[in-house]
Chain A
Amino acid sequence: KQEVTQIPAALSVPEGENLVLNCSFTDSAIYNLQWFRQDPGKGLTSLLLIQSSQREQTSGRLNASLDKSSGRSTLYIAASQPGDSATYLCAVSSWSGAGSYQLTFGKGTKLSVIP
């Protein structure tokens, strides 16, 4: 059974700092990994999708890396802004063994960027 862990559970940084969020998964047989952002009480917004054959993806100030063999991914946020404050969720897509693919989430990292 795939399990996803995110560390830290919460993070508070001053505006302008660079920061790293961590995600680990137990079964390295994944097809892709997706980072999402969730604002309080809202749905999920996809930030980056890394396919299993890729090592990293970049979008603006965000960079996500994937080391499938070690079961780890990191989300790097450069020059953090107060608007980056949200919960960041990591999710992996893997074969469920029941004829389809399943997305498994971590519990998220709650980020607060202090002005």
Chain B
Amino acid sequence: DAGVTQSPTHLIKTRGQQVTLRCSPKSGHDTVSWYQQALGQGPQFIFQYYEEEERQRGNFPDRFSGHQFPNYSSELNVNALLLGDSALYLCASSSILTRQPPSLYGYTFGSGTRLTVV
């Protein structure tokens, strides 16, 4: 049973460029959340996708956008990259319905994509 798969593992981009990160959720999971983790900090919530729609969003600018596909996989897009966007980007999948507490389920995280903006 494959866990959460993220690609690529590492990425170097130039300031002002655009980047797309990809995530395949764990088998049986239908919800994908994206997190940004700066060095020495805890992960910060970016947004969550369920049923191909953005369900909630953290305190991130519109330069951060996403998409979820019918097979539940997801993409995170970041436009106009800034040096401060350099971080580990984590994808987490879960099996929760929007109106059902995830009391029986936890979140499964991928290994992350390390983005460096130069």
Contacts and interface: CB of A to CB of B under 8 A. Distances in A.
Q: Interface extent on B, as a size class?
A: 20 to 34
Q: Interface extent on A, as a size class?
A: 20 to 34
Contact of B108 (A32, A46, A91): A46
Interface of A: 4, 31-32, 34, 36, 41-46, 49, 51-53, 89, 91, 93, 96, 98-108
Contacts of A105: 35, 42-44
Contact of A51 (B92, B103, B110, B114): B103
A47 B39 CA distance: 22
B45 A106 contact: no
Given A100-B56, A101-B96, A101-B102, A43 B111 contact: yes
Tell me if A's interface is mostly helix, strand, loop or mixed: strand
Contact of A32 (B45, B50, B103, B110): B103
A102 B106 contact: no
Contacts of B114: 41
7 contacts: A41-B88, A41-B114, A44-B90, A51-B103, A93-B102, A101-B101, A102-B48
